[in-house]
Structure 1
Amino acid sequence: MMFWYDHDVSGWGLFAMSAGMILFWTLIITVAVLLFRTLNRSQEHTHAPATPSAEDILRERLARGEIDEDDYQRRLNALHAGPLTKP
């Protein structure tokens, strides 16, 4: 019977068990949060990026100085007129 009373948990043992439990739960919660973020992020990035419209491209070319305002207006009117068909 003396064996059971000889190995009690001292102050340092109690501290080590408490610190170990805190580290264990911190690790579990961190893994769960990272897993949740990873699964949530993969759904956000599955959408294909939007392609710019023809008007957006014309606007960008005008802003970069590749075309002047007259050329921009002429091309914009051609876009709004619809497809060119020969009679």
Structure 2
Amino acid sequence: MMYWDGNMGIWGYIMMGLCFVLFWGAIITAIVLFARHMGAGSRRFESSGPGTGVAENLLAERFARGDIDESEYIARLSVLRRGRGA
């Protein structure tokens, strides 16, 4: 009867190294994807440029969806900018 002497051979070491790299690559990929997914919600209300605020972005979104018409958009935008001192 032959007994295993504990030597994996070259293919055992190659497979072990490959599995090690794949395992840690999967863990790091999962962390990065989770971080990107969690950060995507906060980017929705970021200001798109200097002088624009969250309220103006929300107002522009409502106008783009058709919730408000052009005259109401302009009136509310002027109120926002007046209140901000711009």
Judge same fold: TM > 0.5, yes or no.
Answer: yes
Report the CA distance shift for 1:54/1:33 in structure 2 as closer, same or farther (over 3 A). Answer: same
Higher relative contact order (CA 8 A, sep 6+): 1
The residue number in structure 1 matching 2:81 is 80
Alignment of 1:1-87 (within 5 A): 17-37=9-29, 41=32, 44=35, 49-50=42-43, 52=45, 53-82=54-83
Q: If the length of structure 2 is used for normalisation, what is the TM-score?
A: 0.57
* Identity across the alignment (%): 27
Deviation at residue 27 of structure 1 after TM alignment: 1.8
Q: Deviations over 1:7-38 (max 9, x none)?
A: 9xxxxxxxx71211111111222234344445
Structure 2 unpaired stretches of 5+: 3-7, 46-53
| Alignment length (residue pairs) | 68
